[in-house]
Structure formats: structure tokens, C-alpha cells
Amino acid sequence: MARSALAGLGALALAGLLLAGCASTTSGTSASSPEPATEETATPDPDLGAAWLDNGNMIGLVTLGSSTCVPVAEEATYTDGTLNVTLAAPAASTPCTSDLVPRVTLVSVPKGVDASKNLPIEVSGDQYLGQVELPGVSGLTGTGETDYNPSAGWATVQGQFVILTWGSSSCPPVIQDVAATGPAEVTVTYETPAANQVCTMDMAPRAAVAAVNDLEETTGVSAILTGDAFDNVKIPIYGTNA
């Protein structure tokens, strides 16, 4: 049974850097007022990526950063032909690993967006800043309804694609291997989950970034999902491997 895609979801496209500073000074015997704190700024991210997912109902924004501290999409609005997305860092109490990897933030596509046409995206937030244009994909309808089936889309970084699956939010599938197994086919193998793994019973979107560089074709590529709960599930990868 289809349900409305969730709005403003966070799961994996790239993170900005936080530069902050403040200073206070005194002069002679007269205390002076502290100088205003320098506003937090974000460095524009040249590697920001984006991919269509879920028949055009979602977009996966790819940023670089800690794999355990994925930014969350607070708001997504569509104005004058541009998708504006506000990203927020996880709570300060969230423990962050020191790795630097591509990760995905999921964004529900607002009404009015035509997934068959190119979509300029502007990302902002306290620590995030970037622009990217996501090429349109013919055939994506973006109805706002999901069928809870896995989907995949090429990101705007060559060789990189995003995979969306549905299931327990606490037990996302973990990619073990990605390999080209045909001119227009890539096989994604997932790790076998531990037998004693305890998972929540929710149905949530989970997104991950994969990469492949040995395909002969750039369009009409399919992904074969195998391992974990997937038994050679074949899905198209939306778009073009630019």
C-alpha cells in the first residue's frame, strides 16, 4: 500500500566546513565592549552531489564527512525553479567518527518539481553551503506516493550512485562489494547481517552511496542487489553516469 513519501528526511551527496571565531579586547585602563562574535560561515562545497530516487519522489544529497554524523534536511522549498534545502548538523551529543566518506541526506521532493527536467539545487545551513544542478530523467513521475521498493539514481559525481532501500531504521543494509558485471550492469553485494541482530519494526528509507568505474555504458544501467534481504533484485539506475 502506497503512502506519502516522508517530508524532510535525512539518511546520504557534500558537507561544508565550519569556521567560527570570536574575540574580545581591552585597551589601556578602560574596558571596551567585546567585539561582536564572527558569524559562523560555511565553505562552498565543490563536491556536492545529488541523485533522483523513488520515482522522483526523493532526492539523495551526497556530502562528505563523518559516516556517523549525517546532516539532516530541515526544510526543502521549491521557489522560482530552484530547490532550496536547509541542512542541519546532528545533535551536538552525537558521537562522530573521524572518517571522511560520502554519505546521503534524503530530501522529499516538494510539489511542483518536474523530475523530468533539470533541477537547480541550493544547499544552505550553519555548516553547509553548495549548489548543484540535477539533470532531469524522462519517465520519473514524482507522484508523492512510494511503493517501498528499492531504487537507485546516478549522482552528479561521475561513477557515483545512490541506493535507496526500505526497512528497519536501526538495521540498514551494509554494502560489502560493488562491481561491474556487464556493459550496463553493476552488482551490489550486501553483508550478511549478524544472526543476533536486533532491529526496530519500523519501515524507514535507508540510503547509501556506491561507486563503479568499469561500465561500458553510461545510460540504461541496472543494479543487481544481492545479499542481506535481497535475492538478485534488479532495479534501474535513474539518469546518466556523467
d(C-alpha 127, C-alpha 92), whole Å: 13
Identify the pLDDT of residue 201.
95
HSE, CB side, 13 Å, CA atoms: give it for residue 195: 0
Residue 58's domain comprises 3-16+41-238
d(C-alpha 110, C-alpha 86), whole Å: 13
Give the CA angle between residues 141, 119, 85 to the nearest 5°.
Answer: 105
Backbone angles phi, psi at 113, to 5 degrees: -80, 130
Tens of pLDDT along 73-116? 998 999 999 999 999 988 888 889 999 999 999 999 999 999 99
Identify the pLDDT of residue 209.
97
Tens of pLDDT along 206-226? 999 999 999 999 999 999 999
- Structure letter (DSSP) for residue 92: T
**Residue 29 resides in a domain:** no
Q: Are 161 and 237 in contact (CB under 8 A)?
A: yes
- Given phi > 0 = left and psi -120 to 50 = alpha, else beta, which region is 216? alpha
**Residue 30 resides in a domain:** no
Positions in the chain whose pLDDT score sits under 50: 1-40
**Residue 114 resides in a domain:** yes
Identify the pLDDT of residue 200.
96
**Residue 210 resides in a domain:** yes
**Residue 177 resides in a domain:** yes
**Residue 64 resides in a domain:** yes
d(C-alpha 101, C-alpha 121), whole Å: 21
**Residue 151 resides in a domain:** yes
pTM of the model: 0.81
**Residue 197 resides in a domain:** yes
Q: Could you tell me how far CA 49 lies from the centroid of its own chain? A: 8
* Grid cell in block for residue 155: 549522482
The dihedral through the CA atoms of 101, 107, 109, 113 has a sign that is negative
Q: How many domains does the chain have?
A: 1
Terminal Cα-to-Cα distance of the chain (whole angstroms): 34
